[in-house]
Amino acid sequence: NGTNAVSQGVEVYAQHTLSFGLGFQANFTYNSTSMTDVTLGGQKVGNSPLVGSARTQVNGSVFYENSFLLLRASYNRRGELVNGIVSGLNYYSDPFQQIDLNASWYVLQNLSINGSVINLTRSEDRQHLGNDTTARFYASTYGGRILYLGANFKF
């Protein structure tokens, strides 16, 4: 992903489920990267943060599960992300966060009804050019709020 660059960090993860089915999962990642050389035709023309690397990432879920039901709410947050270079400037994705919901109802031993809401918060991924300001808008991606409903049958 780059010459002479270093990526190092730490990830912390925890999970616990209480005896009656309530539980949580959480993780936090911190990543520190150095600058990498940008070359063109074999010659160094500048340097850039490592592409595709966010400094922080947080994920957390709260769930309840028993033999008939599974309910889960998840929160995800990614810090600023370097995407690449456009017109000589790095372009960055702004910090992004969203909440997702999932549920499963086990109607019979071999039949379940499942539903999900992805991006409940209708979060939008926005990008900007350069590391000196977030006001230099570059692009925006919005996947919408997505709803899934389905059934699983085991035979």
Encode pLDDT of 4-14 as tens digits: 778 889 999 99
pTM score of the predicted model: 0.81
Q: Strand pairing partners for 74? A: 61, 100
Encode pLDDT of 98-135 as tens digits: 999 999 999 998 999 999 999 999 999 999 998 888 88
